[in-house]
Amino acid sequence: MCWPTAGTVDAAAGQGWPGLWSVLFTAERAVMALVQATSFAEGLDLIWLAEDLTDACEDIRVRHPGEVSDATAADLGPLPADGDLDSARQTVAHLIASAIRRIDELSVVTTDPSALLWLAGSGTSLFAARTRLVTAGVR
């Protein structure tokens, strides 16, 4: 395996809004590392995925600045030259699944209507993002 497992990153991320931000940040950085190691066509698809993850991180940072200031920012670094792209994609897919799970957990305890709407929209976007990840480059 070229990167730590998604479970290791997930466990270190913590709970709540900071944990969600941390997992999304790590996934976004990992996707950008994948862009550097893939074909042009696949890279374009991955760039869209990274944009979605970046937007979600920024939204959380703006909506919950105090909580996110305590979040762990983990960057898995570049893929090694002999890195396994399929394993790397699976790591990112698991990170996105972790973010979806965290969104679901937050939606149970959040009472703010605007936050609930954001969580619903972001969860939907992440399902689509995960689909783009596993189908990147497929034409």
pLDDT tens, position by position, 3-33: 777 677 777 888 899 999 999 999 999 999 9
User: Which helix (H) or strand (E) covers residue 70, if one does?
Assistant: none
Unique residue bearing structure tokens 């993850």: 53
Classify residue 4 by burial, with Cβ atoms within 10 Å: 0-12, 13-18, 19+.
middle
- Boundaries of every domain in the chain: 6-70+78-135
pTM: 0.88
Indicate the class that CATH gives domain 6-70+78-135: mainly alpha
Q: What are phi and psi of 73, to 5 degrees?
A: -100, 105
pLDDT tens, position by position, 103-123: 999 999 999 999 999 999 999
Q: Treating both helix axes as pointing N-terminal to C-terminal, what angle do 40-63 and 16-37 enclose, rounded to 10 degrees?
A: 160
pLDDT tens, position by position, 36-54: 888 887 788 888 889 989 9
